[in-house]
Structure 1
Amino acid sequence: MKTTIKAALWLAANVLVTSIVAQPSPKSQPRMNPPQTDKIVLYQIYTRLFGNLNSTNKFYGTRDENGTGKFNDITDKALKELKKFGISHVWYTGVIEHATMTDYSAYGIPKDNPYVVKGIAGSPYAIKDYYDVNPDLAVDVRNRMAEFEALVARSHKANLKVIIDFVPNHVARQYKSDMKPSGVKDFGEGDKVEEAFNPQNNFYYLPNRKFLVPDNVPVPPGISTFPYEEFPAKATGNDVFSAKPSINDWFETVKLNYGVDYLNNRSRHFDPIPSTWLKMRDILLYWAAKGVDGFRCDMAEMVPFEFWGWVIPEIKKVNPAAIFIAEIYNPAEYRNYLFNGKFDYLYDKVGLYDSLRRLMEGHGHTADITRVWQQESGDFANRMLRFLENHDEQRIASQYFAKNPFYAIPAMVVSATLHTGPLMLYFGQEVGVTPTVAEGFSGEDGRTTMFDYWGVPEYQAWVNGGKFDGGKLNEDQQKLRKFYADLLKLINKSDAIQNGAFYDLQYANNNGQSAGYNDAKHYVYLRHSDKQKLLVVCNFDLHNGAQTTVKIPSHAWETMGLSATGKYTLTEIFNHPQTLTVEAAQGVPVSMSENSVRIFEIKSSK
């Protein structure tokens, strides 16, 4: 068959990516103290919700009404089960103390004004004290830091690495550290508040202007209010330089100043090193000293990459194995934040997540997956963190997304196996958490609330009163969790997935080249190493199965180190127990049910 220009370009891209996997690109800078493997499996736990077994779930319920999970609820048994499930790293979300409407003034913690707090429980990204932990999470509030340190020790005992949030871009409007070490100055202490911008100020100011609370800030019933005073007004966290931000802004937060003058063409003033840089370095070192193994860095791209390129090496001098994950949404900045900012991993939200989401909703096209790997492959595909859920995104099973948690099957396999990079799951994803009611501030939006006290029924069924055995899961939930467990087991033991190269087979099967092959809904690729060769066949069609013959071109066989005229045995290693014997030139006959995946291990036939 005559090779089209499009197929030739596709082939050239495959040649490029496989050669780069075999030999690092000279364009990339070497990683400083890279992790032993990039195929980590990160499990995000919303700590306040994880162990809460209270099922009251009252709209805008208080801590005492709806309950809250504690550090101590994440027991040795819970951690053992997560490790058994296939997890390597646990991201504890909401650990550092943040603004809340719950009154802890009896413990010496200043009370927050409800007009600058979102939800009764509050947002975990409105940090109130970088040197303290959320008192909600402690059984004994006075002993809260020791309870967190015990959780870190339990996690390490279970052979799990600990990740926490680092929120560098903004703080709560009423930030005040009552737990800072001796000699540490608070943010804003010593600022020249009469200057809108000063490189050594921690905040941006609107001199001679009073901060005004946005209109219609919701205050839950029963919460006492009092006027909020801020003078001069400070810039709001999402780069809003207005004395009165809108209700849709991050009005409860204040933007931190890293030496960038936003109102003067974003001019940079990094010499001498800005005060905020030094304070943030000390905060990261503080948590690293407590055994924290890494940081998920909130809205990292809103902080200059020069800061990251300076601070990450500073932390790795103390802990070379520490990992840094950037929440970032601008692909044009990926390379900058990896190689100049020195991050280990970046969110792959606007790339693979968005592409897979469209397919899970029934209106996407698999060509989008090809575009993603072509853009990201080379010297950083292994550094893109893949996921289908996190605290910011809607739950897969919700009416606002796929409506069915099983529609994630091919998308999750692609997320886990496309390249050698990391994978993330959000707690409850594996049992099909489905938010259906408004919890409080966030309303009914298909997300698990970040701002409210709540219990998660599907997850409570897995926790099963602290047994962590799934004893109360229904049949479908058990089936779904088994899919995730089987997938994690596969990626954790597969050399091809852990370490191997990638080869896209779309160009050899699209455009009617393979009968029964749907260009828009089918996706096939190879993962291969010296030790293992895999063929992955995905059907994203939610309603129709297919019978086709997957063509593997001569170049692909040769790239795997196999003969293009040989005879091979393909053994199903995921779900379907089947063995095929095929001749390379004739292709691989594959039967697919709707919304399914088949993974074959290729070996020379004897």
Structure 2
Amino acid sequence: MHRLLAICALALATLACQQQRPSESQKTTEHKTVVYQVFTRLFGNTNTTNKPWGTIEENGVGKFSDFTDKALSELKDLGITHIWYTGVPHHAVINDYTVYGISNDDPDVVKGRAGSPYAVKDYYNVNPDLAENPANRLEEFKALIDRTHQHGMKVLIDIVPNHVARHYEGKNNPAGVLDFGAQDDTSVVYAVNNNFYYIPGESFKVPNPENNYQPLGGEAHPLADGQFDENPAKWTGNGSRLAQPGFHDWYETVKINYGVRPDGTKDFPELPEGYELKDYKAHYAFWQNKTLPDSWLKFRDIALYWTELGVDGFRFDMAEMVPVEFWSFMNSSIKMANEDAFLLAEVYNPALYRDYIHKGKMDYLYDKVELYDTLKHIMQGHGLTDNLPAIQDGLKDIEHHMLHFLENHDEQRIASPEFVGDAKKGMPAMVVSTTISTAPTMIYFGQEVGEPGAENAGFGNHSRTSIFDYIGVPHHQRWMNNGAFDGAQLSNEEKELRDFYKRLLTFSVKSPALMGEYKEIHTINRSNNENYTDKTFSFVRWCDKEQLIICSNFQPNNSQNFLLKIPAEIIKQWQLSDGQYQLTDQLYGSTNKLLVENGEGTIDIHTEPLASFIYKIDN
């Protein structure tokens, strides 16, 4: 049965090309997926004040309504297929919404003034900051879901199963849904159906501040007194078991209990041997009629609630801190409701990748610690492209599942001085990241116009656009042009950068070869070409309808000239006879020639600094 399903998956995924490796998530994927991560409260903000620790009135805030038809049309035209609206579920904020029945949050356990999107306070509603009318905030988000769908894009939001806000308060739970911790036995550290872990006999203490830190930058606030009432204290989100966690702990959150005892043993069934080979339907069937920890059911119900509202998928925060068996239960339940759901997880331990994909039924994982980190070092000038072939070879059995990115809310902006200080230095890396595999590509809003993340927003450091405070995003605001979304305020350099991203991404979502075969030709050219350096990278992608030769120059100051060799095995695979073949670059339209002699191919390459070619053989 498993073999039959795999054959069906392969057939569906190869309508345009013969796919390398079939998988469930490729059943409906004939072309590349491109995810646009947008920090929802920052996207539409036109305020340029940018006062450190500024209030919502001083620094402004974006709304759901700022994603107008024009804005969404421009994102679709950029090549976007999915929008990850970051910061949608209602998280702790320092703003008074008591008139709407929302309790105030304590600055002593909130990071920043606008609050971390990963300290969710109420999973059954949305951030009131994002609504024109906070009383109608959920309806406004539903309207955004509908608008996004009307423009042919899918909607993703965050779910953060590892932890919730220190002051979680579910005031919008559906009938019959109890709040987190409502029935916990707080007299014990652990019980299987407790939602939290406790420190009996001790009260929570706010961490000792460092570097003269003061909540809200020292502004007076009735709740900012260095105390927070939590008795008994709970374990902190990152696993600290201290009643007074450290300043660098995730002290604004509390850890969720999934039935893992304090000694690490499990209070729930484990998947039988061989289930890594079974599909989500078999996983769903396995969990039926099992007695499961209460937290499993709560998060399953949360995911199905948002799925029913029209959300097309989720980005799961710190998934590796939650047992893989839970993900088998959770994701198979989501897939039973929507088999096309897009399920993306943050997992940073390569040793766990295959478990979270095959046992946990994740569609995609961040490819951070291998591809991203290596590309970052190359961009910074101290890494070698020689390290790239081994990465792709090591991931070849799961390459489709490893989502690629160069920026997200956790990482430094490419243009920040702390990274490389020049957005153009990301261009060759973006070509490689986007075209090297069948995996989805992700960009972070503002990346396409060179946003450097230079503002001092309050909490946190420069180089990353703040996720904690109200702030404007200057380069992005110039593209937004006061809601015209026409880029009229961009500099010529910024326009050229966005044009590059648009050319690359729109090509990627149309190219059948990028869902086909891959072969690196870097190694053979390094060993046969003294002018081909460790700051160059090349590979080929192909299917029966399209053959591509991709070459990138990572050097910021030097052009390159060399004869690129296409090995005989590739020429044979492409069924090319001796002769000349016209090549056309799919980025900017320049032409070149592929010369095939004695069954081997060569291309005379000249690249400007930071330039890339995606040569297509003209048929």
Q: Is the 8 A contact 2:582 2:591 kept in 1?
A: no
Q: Deviations over 1:223-242 (max 9, x none)?
A: 33243111111000011111
The alpha carbon displacement at 1:38 in A equals 6.2
Instruction: Show the counterpart of 1:256.
Output: 256
Whether the aligned pair in 2 keeps the contact of 1:99 and 1:127 (CA below 8 Å) is yes
- Corresponding position: 1:570 with 2:583: yes
Alignment pair present for 1:150 and 2:106: no
> What is the match of residue 130 of structure 1?
123
Equivalent residues in 2 for 1:153-192 (5 A)? 153-192=146-185
Q: Residues 158-237 of structure 1: matches in 2 within 5 Å? A: 158-216=151-209, 218-220=214-216, 221-224=219-222, 225-226=224-225, 227-237=227-237
State the shift of 1:306 in Å.
0.5
CA–CA distance in structure 1, aligned partners of residues 172 and 19 of structure 2: 49
| 8 Å Cα contact 1:535-1:599 kept in structure 2 | yes
Equivalence map 1:335-346=2 (5 Å): 335-346=354-365
Q: Hey, what's the Cα distance between the residues in 2 that align with 1:34 and 1:347?
A: 20
- Larger deviation, residues 99-108 vs 50-59: 99-108
Alignment-mate amino acid for residue 168 of structure 1: P
Check whether the contact 2:20–2:517 (CA below 8 A) recurs between aligned residues: no
For the pair 1:418 / 2:436, whether they are aligned, the reply is yes
C-alpha displacement of 1:527: 0.5
Other-structure match for 1:589: 604
Task: Summarize the alignment of residues 327-476 of structure 1 with structure 2, pairs less than 5 Å apart.
Answer: 327-378=346-397, 380-443=398-461, 445-476=462-493
Asked if 2 retains the 8 angstrom alpha-carbon contact of 1:38 and 1:421, the reply is no
Q: Provide the rounded CA distance (Å) in 1 between the counterparts of 2:71 and 2:127.
A: 21
Partner of 2:4: none
SS in structure 1 at match of 2:297:
helix
Q: Which residue of 1 aligns with 2:613?
A: 598
**C-alpha distance in 2, partners of 1:297/1:509?**
40
Shift of 1:369: 1.3
Q: What CA distance in whole angstroms lies between the structure 2 residues aligned with 1:38 and 1:200?
A: 43
Match of residue 477 from structure 1 = 494
Distance 1:83 1:190 in 2: 46
User: SS at 1:97's partner residue?
Assistant: strand
Distance 1:316 1:196, change over 3 A: same
> Partners of 2:305 and 2:571 in 1: how far apart?
51
Deviation at 1:567, TM superposition (A): 3.7
Correspondence for 1:17: none
Q: CA deviation at 1:330?
A: 0.6
Q: Give the alignment of 1:538-553 within 5 angstroms.
A: 538-553=552-567
| Aligned 1:479-498 pairs, distance under 5 A | 479-497=496-514
Contact 2:31 2:512 in 1 (8 A): no
Partners of 2:18 and 2:586 in 1: how far apart? Answer: 25
Partners of 1:33 and 1:273 lie apart in 2 by 31
Deviations 1:304-362 (A, max 9, x none): 11011111111111111111100111111110000000011111111111011111111
One-letter amino acid of the structure 2 residue matched with residue 582 of structure 1:
L
2:44 corresponds to 1:51: yes
Contact 1:34 1:344 survives alignment (8 Å): no
The answer to whether the 8 A contact 1:40-1:89 is kept is yes
1:529 paired to 2:543: yes
Q: In the alignment, is the contact (CA less than 8 A) between 1:33 and 1:321 conserved in 2?
A: no
- Shift of residue 23 of structure 1? 6.9
Q: How far did 1:58 drift?
A: 0.6
- Spell out the pairing of 1:514-525 with structure 2 (5 A cutoff): 514-518=529-533, 520-525=534-539
TM-score by length of 2: 0.90
User: Aligned match of 1:502 in 496, 518, 538?
Assistant: 518
State the 1:121 CA deviation. 0.5
The alpha carbon displacement at 1:514 in A equals: 1.6
Q: 2:98 & 2:310 partners in 1: Cα distance?
A: 29
Alpha-carbon separation, structure 1, partners of 2:439 and 2:30? 8
CA distance in 2, matches of 1:548, 1:148: 53
Gaps of 5+ in 1: 1-20
* Equivalent residues, number: 575
| Whole-angstrom CA distance in 1 between matches of 2:90 and 2:559 | 50
What secondary structure does 1:260 align onto? coil
Deviations 1:34-61 (A, max 9, x none): 4434621100110000000011111100
* Cα separation, 1, equivalents of 2:138 and 2:332: 27
Q: Could you tell me whether the CA contact under 8 Å between 1:169 and 1:299 is conserved in 2?
A: yes
Whether contact under 8 Å (1:362, 1:542) holds in the other structure is no
Change (3 A) 1:586 1:309: closer
Q: Structure 2 vs 1, CA of residues 467 and 603 (structure 1 numbering), >3 Å: closer, same or farther?
A: closer
* Distance in 1 (alpha carbons) for counterparts of 2:351 and 2:423: 32
Residue 33 of structure 1 contacts residue 320 of structure 1 at CA under 8 Å; is this kept in 2?
no
Match of 1:159, SS state, is: coil
In structure 2, do the counterparts of structure 1 residues 156 and 471 end up closer, same or farther at CA, with 3 Å as the change threshold?
same
Between the aligned partners of 1:24 and 1:426, the Cα distance in structure 2 is 28
Cα displacement string for residues 480-504 of structure 1 (whole angstroms, at most 9, x for unaligned residues): 000001111211222211x220010
The residue that corresponds to 1:14 in the other structure is none
Q: Is the 8 A contact 2:331 2:362 kept in 1?
A: yes
- Report what 1:16 is aligned to: none
- Distance in 2 separating the partners of 1:415 and 1:184: 43
Counterpart for residue 571 of structure 2: 557
TM-aligned CA distance change 1:581 to 1:536, over 3 Å: closer
Q: Is the 8 A contact 2:558 2:609 kept in 1?
A: yes
- Of the candidates 315, 325, 339, which is equivalent to residue 320 of structure 1? 339
SS at match of 2:24: coil
| Separation (CA, whole Å) in 2 of partners of 1:573 and 1:471 | 26
User: 1:501-523, CA deviations, whole angstroms, 9 ceiling, x for partnerless residues?
Assistant: 00100221113x124111x1111
% identical equivalent positions: 46
1:18 aligns to what?
A: none
| SS state at 2:480 partner | helix
Residues 545, 594 of structure 1: 8 Å contact kept: yes
Deviations for 1:572-597, whole angstroms, at most 9, x for unmatched residues? 33225123251243511101111111
* Unaligned 5+ runs, structure 2: 1-16, 270-289
Indicate the residue corresponding to 2:109 in structure 1.
Answer: 116
CA contact (8 A) 1:515 1:549 kept: no
Amino acid at match of 1:455: G
- SS in structure 1 of the partner of residue 468 of structure 2: coil
Give the residue type in structure 2 aligned to 1:478. K
The letter of the residue matching 1:302 is: M
Residues of 2 paired with 1:566 and 1:310: CA distance?
56
Distance 1:81 1:484 in 2: 13
User: What amino acid is aligned across from residue 333 of structure 2 in structure 1?
Assistant: E
Q: Distance in 2 between matches of 1:468 and 1:175?
A: 37
CA deviation vs aligned residue, 1:218-277 (integer Å, no higher than 9, x gap): 31213332431111110000111111110000000000011111x313444346200000
Within 2, Cα distance between the matches of 1:479 and 1:32? 34
Aligned to 2:196, the other structure's residue is in SS state coil
Number of the residue aligned with 2:62: 69
Structure 2 residue matching 1:594: 3-state secondary structure: coil
3-state SS, counterpart of residue 551 of structure 1: strand
- CA deviations 1:367-406 (Å, max 9, x no partner) are 221121011112x101111000000001000011010000
Aligned to 1:300: 319
Q: List per-residue Cα deviations over 1:266-294 (Å, max 9, x = no partner).
A: 44434620000001111001101110000
2 CA distance for matches of 1:580 and 1:593? 18
Kindly state the Cα deviation for residue 536 of structure 1 after the two structures are TM-superposed.
Answer: 0.6
| Cα distance in 1, alignment partners of residues 586 and 595 from structure 2 | 17
Shift in Å at residue 79 of structure 1? 0.5
